[in-house]
Amino acid sequence: RYVSGILYRAKQFSENTKETVEETAKFIKQRIHDARKNNEYLSSIFKYLLNPEQAQAETTFSNPEELVQYQTRLAIQNLIRYNAIVGTTETFSESMRMLQHVLLPDRFGNERRLERMNDLFEKYTANDSDDTTQRNPSHMGSISTSSVMAELRKDDVFMKEFQEYLKYEQVIFDFALKMHHMQYDLAMEAEKRKAEP
């Protein structure tokens, strides 16, 4: 996800565009190395998962890692406390099906509107394994997330540093993914019960 984000920003905003996979990997390595030198961790997810008071709260942590650990706990608590519906791009079809279940209850005021909404969801909830789901093509030529990751994985020392940099965001993602699977399973069970005579 981190590498995808770097490539997306390069494409969208002409930010740090590199000509080759190797140059892109070198740029990412330097960026991560500089961040870890300052004891920084990836924390961009907090802008989505902390409420304004939590994000602005004064803290008295002696080092940056303690702050990120604290924010990680708050983010996970918020997912539970605010009864968040979790969806991921990695499970896009499931995420859309779950949103459809939540947003289109049995009692929908206007049949025509319900039909149009169902059509819209059907367009985006096609099974990922068939050809009906359209994927965005890469506009970066041969520089894809998988090619950059393959280049980064050649450097075992860097990968340890990379995993350290991502570790708290990974904790949140892993928790949210488990939450997503539980929510999806419950939603599909409810749909199955609804369909029974």
pLDDT in tens, 147-163: 999 999 999 999 999 99
- Cα within 13 Å of Cα(141), Cβ side: 8
DSSP 8-class letter at 45: T
Q: What is the pLDDT of residue 131?
A: 45
> Is the confidence at residue 121, as pLDDT, over 80?
no
Confidence grade of residue 190 (pLDDT, cut at 50, 70, 90): confident
Give the DSSP letter string of 151-190.
Answer: HHTT-HHHHHHHHHHHHHHHHHHHHHHHHHHHHHHHHHHH
> How large is the angle between the packed helices 2-13 and 145-152, nearest 10 degrees?
130
Q: What is the mean pLDDT of residues 87-93?
A: 85
- Helix pair angle (111-124, 92-103), 10° resolution: 170
Share of the chain above pLDDT 70, in %: 85
SS3 103: helix
- Whole-angstrom distance, CA of residue 84 vs CA of residue 63: 30
Q: Give the pTM.
A: 0.80
Burial track 167-195 (b if 16+ CB lie within 10 A, e otherwise): ebbbbbbebbeebbeebbeebeeeeeeee
Sign of the CA dihedral with 9 first, then 10, 15, and 21 last: positive
Helices (H), the chain: 2-13, 21-37, 46-49, 52-56, 64-81, 92-103, 111-124, 145-152, 156-195
CA-CA-CA-CA torsion sign (53, 54, 56, 57): positive
What value does the mean pLDDT of the chain take?
85
d(CA 6, CA 147) in angstroms, rounded, equals: 13
92: number of CA atoms within 13 Å, CB side?
14
Residue 40 has a CB neighbour count (10 Å cut-off) of: 14
* The pair of three-digit structure tokens given for residue 158, joined into one six-digit string: 């860097």
